[in-house]
Amino acid sequence: MSEPPRACNGSEALCARALSEIAIAVAHNAMNVEAEGWLLPNQHLGYEDQVVDGIRGFMLDVHDDAGVATLCHGDCGLGSEPLLDALIRLRLLLEARPYDVFVLILQDEIEPPGIVDAFEASGLLPRVIGGIEPWPTLSQLIAADTRLLVTHEGARPDAPAWYHATYELAWDNDYAAASVEDFGCDVLRGDRGHEVFLLNHFLTNPLASEALAAEANPADVLLEHIERCEAEAGQRVDWIAVDFYDVGDVLSVVESLNQR
């Protein structure tokens, strides 16, 4: 693996910005990877290639499979990976890239103890971001070597402090879009008063596909969605969730957003 750049997520300009103030490309169903044999994938490449290419956010679905916290996309027969194994891979990536900050968004279909056990066993907990009030800057997170924000979608009042509720920090738009014309900006979860705007920008008709990503991910389509939602919400888009991020112009668009 090549030496990572000595900057904050690849850019000196981001170092003074809070984690809530930067654009991040998020791999939707990041575990559901064609190259690793998953059926009906959402991505071509695994976490390691995702990070090298510029992905800094990962959406993962966690289920209970025979008592083991396991990443699956609905049916574990279509593909699976123990959560522990995925967390070890992410830990190794963080260790290899000491100037990067990642966001991990879990669709958690199991109770917190199963998640916590996997984090403890993976050795990743020392890298996990605790308090975020106020939101820390990237340079502060890098200096402290706490560089992974972990959030969850479920209602978990008994969750540890580092296991943040996604929609207490962020809000998102509807993820159900079958065509480009369906891309909307209305609030689905969370409140517009939250600092992070998570834009769902992927097509499902009836499943994800590379062909649909080729419709969704060109710069003109993505920027139109971003600009329309920013104008409607009066708030910048921060995290952008996509399928097949390597199709189209997602990463170059995110880079341009961070130059604003």
Distances (CA, A) of 113 to 10, 66, 158, 180, 243: 34, 15, 9, 39, 30
pLDDT at 206: 96
- The total number of structural domains that make up the chain: 1
Q: Please check whether residue 239 lies inside any domain of the structure.
A: yes
In a domain, 84, yes or no: yes
Q: Examine residue 78 and state whether it is found in any structural domain, yes or no.
A: yes
Give Cα separations from 120 to 47, 137, 140, 236 (angstroms).
20, 25, 23, 35
pTM of the model: 0.96
The radius of gyration computed from the CA coordinates of the chain, to the nearest angstrom, equals: 17
Give DSSP secondary structure letters for 121-189: HHT-GGGB----SSPPBHHHHHHHT--EEEEESS--TTS-TTEEEHHHHEEEE----SSGGG---SEEE
CA torsion sign for 258, 22, 53, 127 is: positive
pLDDT at 76: 95
Q: 189-199: string of b/e by CB count within 10 Å (b at 16+)?
A: bbeeebbbbbb
What is the model's pLDDT at position 73?
Answer: 94
> Residue 128 sits in which domain range?
12-257
CB-CB contact of 103 with 58 (8 Å): yes
Q: Which two tokens stand for residue 9?
A: 């997520």
In a domain, 5, yes or no: no
Distance CA 207, CA 39 (A): 11
In a domain, 3, yes or no: no
Alpha-carbon gap, residue 32 to 156, rounded angstroms:
25
Asked if residue 220 is part of any domain, the answer here is: yes
Distance CA 232, CA 228 (A): 6
**With contact defined as beta carbons under 8 Å apart, do 242 and 226 qualify?**
no
> Residue 211 burial by CB count (10 A; 0-12/13-18/19+): exposed, middle or buried?
exposed
**Distances, alpha carbon 256 to alpha carbons 122, 183, 231, in Å:** 35, 21, 17
Residue 34: half-sphere exposure toward Cβ, Cα within 13 Å: 13
Query: Is 113 contained in some domain?
Result: yes
| Per-residue pLDDT at 158 | 86
pLDDT of residue 4: 52
The domain that holds 66 is classified in CATH as 3.20.20.190
For residue 112, count other CB atoms closer than 10 A to its CB: 16
- Digit-by-digit pLDDT tens for the chain (260 residues) are 455 557 999 999 999 999 999 999 999 999 999 999 999 999 999 999 999 999 999 999 999 999 999 999 989 999 999 999 999 999 999 999 999 999 999 999 999 999 999 999 999 999 999 989 999 999 999 999 999 999 999 878 889 999 999 999 999 999 999 999 999 999 999 999 999 999 999 999 999 999 999 999 999 999 999 999 999 999 999 999 999 999 999 999 999 999 99
Q: Is 97 helix (H, G, I), strand (E, B) or coil?
A: coil
In a domain, 165, yes or no: yes
- Strands 24-27, 57-65: pairing is parallel
